[in-house]
Amino acid sequence: MIDRGDVLPITRQAALLQLSRSSVCYLPRPLPPARLAIMHRIDVLHGEHPFAGSRMTCDLHRAEGITIGRLTVATLMRRMCIEALYRRTNQVWAMDITYIPMMRGFVCLRAYDWVRDTRASLGRYLDFHNARRPHSSLGAPTPEHAYPDHLPQVLAA
């Protein structure tokens, strides 16, 4: 279509083909390695926590020592076609999980076959919720950091 080595200038070739010159001359710039590393980390965090939006993902990065703005995270998530998965009004879930609406959110009920599976799943959730999930109402620290004296210590047998 467009021959860059032709005698006819690119602007004239674009005009003959009724194309804008900017679309013909545009060459995308490669992303810097640091940006690719952040995009990879966002992808990993989204795999671990698919419900995390740009705010929580930004806070999770800060907890790991990476300073990045929320709008930058939102832009990268949009560019990667990543969207937080959360329950919307009138949305139906096709799993063995039941959400019961409460005054301040939802209670999740899930069917388990074994007690040890139940304990392991609840343990993972509570560990994430108390030790790793940044809470925006607390100014982004985890409850472990915000209330170190109020959480009971679990003693191993």
**DSSP class per residue in the chain:** ---TTSSS-HHHHHHHTT--HHHHH--PPPPPHHHHHHHHHHHHHHHH-TT--HHHHHHHHHHTT----HHHHHHHHHHTT-------TT----SSEEEEEETTEEEEEE--SSHHHHHHHHHHHHHIIIII---GGGTS--HHHH-TTTSPPPPP-
Q: What is the pLDDT of residue 89?
A: 60
What are the CA-CA distances from residue 21 to residues 5, 13, 17, 29, 103 (Å)? 16, 9, 10, 18, 57
Distance, in Å, from the CA atom of 136 to the CA atom of 57, rounded to the nearest integer, reads 12
Distance, in Å, from the CA atom of 141 to the CA atom of 147, rounded to the nearest integer, reads 10
Q: What is the pLDDT of residue 72?
A: 93
Q: What is the pLDDT along the chain (157 residues), one digit of tens a residue?
A: 777 788 888 888 888 888 888 877 777 788 888 888 898 899 888 888 888 889 989 988 988 888 899 999 999 998 888 888 776 665 554 445 555 666 555 566 666 666 777 778 778 877 887 777 787 776 777 777 777 666 566 655 5
Exposed/middle/buried for 52, CB within 10 Å: 0-12, 13-18, 19+? buried
Domain boundaries, the chain: 8-86, 88-157
Question: Partners of 98 in the beta sheet?
Answer: 109
**pTM for the whole thing?**
0.53
Distance, in Å, from the CA atom of 69 to the CA atom of 129, rounded to the nearest integer, reads 23
Q: What is the pLDDT of residue 71?
A: 95
Q: What is the pLDDT of residue 90?
A: 58
Gyration radius (Cα) of the chain, Å: 24
Q: What is the pLDDT of residue 100?
A: 60
